Amino acid sequence: MDQDLQRLTDELRNEKCPQRVIDEVRRRIARRPRPHSLGVFKIASVTAVLALVCSLAVWHRPARGPTAHALKQAARTKPQSAQVARETEDALGYIGVILLDAGTHTRDILLNQAVPPLRNSLTTAKNKLLNHIEP
């Protein structure tokens, strides 16, 4: 049995994919639409805007206790702060939607394109082993 198993493993190591299969895969890859780099640009721009908003918030924060001028300015900027909070919430929600879409797309690609060939190759290897070992 050890010799049969050794011979089978040598055969499996020497097996190569036929050129027609490689050509078909290259043709399918060329036909597949490219992922939109616009999504990456959107994520980068939203992140940059969030970083800018956070840095502005830290920069405008008073260094010491509140002064009369600071209290007047704070009373004047409360509506702006609420608007910034709403925009930040919208931006984070948008980033979440993009990440959920990317996760769904990746899951679909893995389930539909990667798993079936892997399952078929494992089934083929199992069948070769079982058929080769039986008398």
Could you write out the DSSP letters of every residue in 11-48?
HHHH----HHHHHHHHHHHHHSPPPPHHHHHHHHHHHH
User: Counting beta carbons within 10 angstroms of the beta carbon of residue 31, is it exposed (0 to 12), middle (13 to 18) or buried (19 or more)?
Assistant: exposed
Tokens of 89: 């919430």
pLDDT in tens, the chain (135 residues): 577 778 777 777 777 777 887 788 788 877 877 666 556 667 778 888 888 887 777 776 655 555 666 666 666 666 677 788 888 888 888 888 898 888 888 888 888 888 888 888 888 888 888 877 655
The owner of tokens 């919208």 is: 90
Give the 3-state secondary structure of residue 127. helix
Which residue type does 67 have? Answer: T
Which residue type does 114 have? Answer: A
Tokens of 128: 């070769």
Tokens of 29: 């890859």
Tokens of 90: 């919208």
Give the 3-state secondary structure of residue 119. helix
The owner of tokens 């840095």 is: 55
